[in-house]
Amino acid sequence: EVQLVESGGGLVQPGGSLRLSCAASGFTFSSYWMHWVRQAPGKGLVWVSRINSDGSSTSYADSVKGRFTISRDNAKNTLYLQMNSLRAEDTAVYYCARLVGATVSYSDYWGQGTLVTVSS
Amino acid sequence: QSALTQPASVSGSPGQSITISCTGTSSDVGGYNYVSWYQQHPGKAPKLMIYDVSNRPSGVSNRFSGSKSGNTASLTISGLQAEDEADYYCSSYTSSSTLAVFGGGTKLTVL
């Protein structure tokens, strides 16, 4: 059974840092592109960042570029999102999801999400 | 502002059919047959309902169908049931480096 389990969320002050993790199981993690999607309270889904299967290629939304870093450890079947210089507008539930399809542009499995709250 | 435009809300009675639209541009929806749809119940993770415009993943009811015309994709739910009440998001492959963009979401209310 495919499982994605996020962790690392919590309350952080503006300007602070947080590292999210996404533990994958039930599939060959190293064969799949992955991404992070966030959802602010009461708002829609917003794409944050993606990484290819071996970690050599990454992409970021303009809103997080230069502040967030996506990475992966295929030996540990884990995806990461390092978030620095956090702002109030980064407050959201962060989901990790597996990317599939001919253009790796849709997700067939999602984690349950981890809540990040940026507030003083 | 979301890259893809969806109506904020739609509603229908049990047994009826509804359609949710998703409008993009020739750089995303109109240029490729890679539109997907997700269902999200409150407090839950999104669930893939349709991929590549009109394909259903295993386990998704055939009451859900997808189509596309020009720059607009559509999700149709027939035989509405109470459990269909949820938020629905479209997504499309895009030629930009992000690879995928989402719509703003549509809240479906089953009356």
Tokens describing residue A73: 């450890």
pLDDT value for B95: 84
Please report the pLDDT score of residue A103 as a whole number.
84
Question: Is it the case that residue A107 has pLDDT exceeding 70?
Answer: yes
Nearest CA in chain B to A59: B98
Handedness of CA A95, B41, B47, B25 (dihedral sign): negative
pLDDT attached to residue B83: 96
Residues 6+ apart with CB under 8 A from B98: A47, A50, A59, A61
A44–B99 CB contact, under 8 Å: no
Nearest to B89 by CA among A56, A8, A43, A62: A43
Average pLDDT over every residue of B71-98: 94
Residues of B in contact with A49 (CB under 8 A): none
| Residue in chain B nearest A51 by alpha carbon | B98
Q: Average pLDDT for residues A93-110, to the nearest whole number?
A: 92
Average pLDDT over residues A57-86: 96
Residue A86: which pLDDT band, with cuts at 50, 70 and 90? Answer: very high
Looking at residue A17, what is its pLDDT? 97
pLDDT for residue B1 is more than 60: no
Size of interface A-B (CB pairs under 8 A): 71
